[in-house]
Each structure stands twice: as C-alpha cells, then as structure tokens.
Amino acid sequence: MTQKETLNLLEQVSAGELSPQQALLQLKMEPFEELGFAKVDHHRGLRQGAAEVIYGAGKTPEQIRAIAQAMTDRGEKAILITRMAVEAAELVGKSLPLRYDPLSRVGIVGQMPEADGIGKIVVATGGTSDMPVAEEAALTAEVLGNEVVRLYDVGVAGLHRLLSHMEEIMSARVIIAIAGMEGALASVIGGLADCPVIGVPTSVGYGASMHGLSALLSMLNSCASGVSVVNIDNGFGAGYLASMINHMEGK
C-alpha cells in the first residue's frame, strides 16, 4: 500500500464510506506476509513511497512467482523484478501479466504508471555495451513514475555525440551517467549539467578495468561537483535514487 493509497483509505473513513474497523483490518494485513522462504514487505510502499522490488538473482522461478503473486493479491499495480532469468520470466508469464526485457533482465508485472515526476530523467551511456545496465536504470525509473530520456553511446571517445544533446542535458532534472572502461562520462556530464548526476560504473572493459573497479574509482574521484556514485552495474540503485530526486517537491 502506497502513501497515496493509505491517505485515500483514511479519507474514506473520514467521509463515512469505510468503517474504522474495516480500515484497521486493511492496515493490519499490510506489514508483511510469511511465505516460508520469504517475508514479503507489504508496508514498503507506505514507509518509502515505493513497493518492494524483487531481486531475482539467486531465487528460483517458483519463488519469484510466489512473491509476485502475493504482491499482486495485495493490490500492487506494478511490480519490478530485477536480474530475472529467462526461465523465471517464462514461468511467471504463464500466470501473471509480465513484461520482460531480456537485455536488462528486468521483469514488470502489471501496468506501467503514468509519469508523475517533476521533470525528466536522462539516462546516458558511454557505449552500447553499457545498455543492459542502462535499461535496468531506465525501466526502474519508469516503473516508479518518471519520464525517461535515453542517450546511448555518447561516450568520450566521440565527445561530439554527447554535445549534440545539450538541450536534453541542460533540461534534465537528474542524469544517470553509465560507463565502463575509465568511466569518464560521469565527470564530463557533471561539468556540463546543472542538476544532480548519478554515476554508474559498469564491468565493461579490458583487463585493467578490473571488472568495473577502474570506472568506480574514476567516478568516485570526479572533480565535477554534484556527482554521486552507486555500485558497479547497479542500474536499479541509480534509477531508484533518480526517481527519489525527481519526486522531491520544492527542490
């Protein structure tokens, strides 16, 4: 149950459309649901403004389906599943309305919401090889109610590609800069934009990139102000944080 849904519940009680006992029953059912192998946190939306996200890696297809079904039964309209294997998507799709993106391994159960964020979130990548992480970030942001602009393959090896999108960069509410190799894209964008920039290092690159560590250290040491950094390949974390920024009123 989201904050808006909880407020609507209280307004129904105030208007006499729902008894206090009925409202109490709905709230009592919310905290978490014991499935034996998982405790589904139905109060996540009330506490944090967004429902629990299912991390698919390490879970069996049956476990993912059971968690998604429990959330659907409690009225969740859009359920995000990250790092979801094709086998899990095939099983879940048989019983639930699933949209699956094999590139990012993201599954979405239910309807995508209307965008209600304040502005636009730009997701930019250094290269095409960064797109799996970028789509995880972009789809996460869209599930959370944001309009997303994708700028892919605009890395520093051809800086003119990025500079041709200055209008999108300067009008963004928040930018997610995703890059492997030396991870310079976050610093370049941070030096151009007047909004928060979230750097996402990826594990793309040759040997000395050390599976994304080089890009991580480069982004952490960025001389551009306003750049923050999430973990290697953590497109979900970047998309979630960008959504929080994009929904902050008066900022």
Residues whose CB falls within 8 Å of the CB of residue 7, separated by 6 or more in sequence, listed in order: none
pLDDT at 76: 85
Phi, psi of 222 (to 5 degrees): -60, 135
pTM of the model: 0.85
How many beta carbons lie within 10 A of that of residue 87, not counting itself?
Answer: 11
Burial 3-27 (b: 16+ CB within 10 A, else e): eeebeebeeeeeeeebeeeeeeeee
pLDDT at 91: 97
Residues whose CB falls within 8 Å of the CB of residue 213, separated by 6 or more in sequence, listed in order: 201, 232
CB 32 within 8 A of CB 39: yes
CB 212 within 8 A of CB 205: yes
Question: What averages of pLDDT result for each successive group of 10 residues across the chain (251 residues)?
Answer: 74 88 71 77 73 92 94 88 97 96 96 93 97 98 97 94 95 97 95 96 94 96 95 98 91 46
pLDDT at 164: 94
pLDDT at 46: 67
pLDDT at 37: 81
Domain architecture of the chain: domains with CATH: 25-110 (no CATH), 120-246 (3.40.50.1970)
pLDDT at 28: 63
pLDDT at 203: 97
pLDDT at 251: 46
pLDDT at 38: 82
Could you give the CA distance from residue 36 to residue 15 in angstroms, rounded to a whole number? 39
pLDDT at 35: 80
The token pair that represents 240 in the structure block:
């979630």
With helix as H, strand as E and coil as C, how does 177-239 read? EEECCCCCHHHHHHCCCCCCEEEEECCCCCHHHHHHHHHHHHHHCCCCCCEEECCCCCHHHHH
What single-letter DSSP state applies at residue 94? T
